[in-house]
Amino acid sequence: DLTKEGRLIGEALFDSIDLSENGFIHMGDLEEFRASVFSGMDYDTNGQVTYEEFATWDPGFVLVAEDIGRKDGYTTASKIVFAFWDRDGNDELSEREMRFAMSSDFRRADLDDDGLLSQQEFINGFPIMVAMRAAIQPDL
């Protein structure tokens, strides 16, 4: 069932961030992940990520969106996330902007305010996860 794929992708993404395999993500895990992703997105190595660069990084959501005919919804969701993260509105993400956005998103998802994200908090509350899952399954 492709509509469940978003959750499976979220679980796999959580596992890739939880490097110590202890069942939760702390801010250090997320920062390490963010730095790696930013470096991977910044194809021209200029220290800025354009939307085009941002849109090329995907843990698997785009393939699911295409398979179920939701590519336009996914593209719209990714543009919204990029716009929220681009705090100065210059159409590029700096490392600082991405760090701030992911840190804020971490705190927003940390419902019990313990400084850790469980898999459930990550999948159901981390804003980029919510946006991408909603794009491919609007009736979440």
Q: Look-up: residue for tokens 């997320």?
A: 30
pLDDT in tens, 95-122: 999 999 999 999 999 999 999 999 999 9
Q: Contact at 8 Å (CB) between 109 and 121?
A: yes
pLDDT in tens, 84-95: 999 999 999 999
Q: In whole angstroms, give the CA distance from residue 23 to residue 62.
A: 26
Q: Say what the pTM is.
A: 0.87
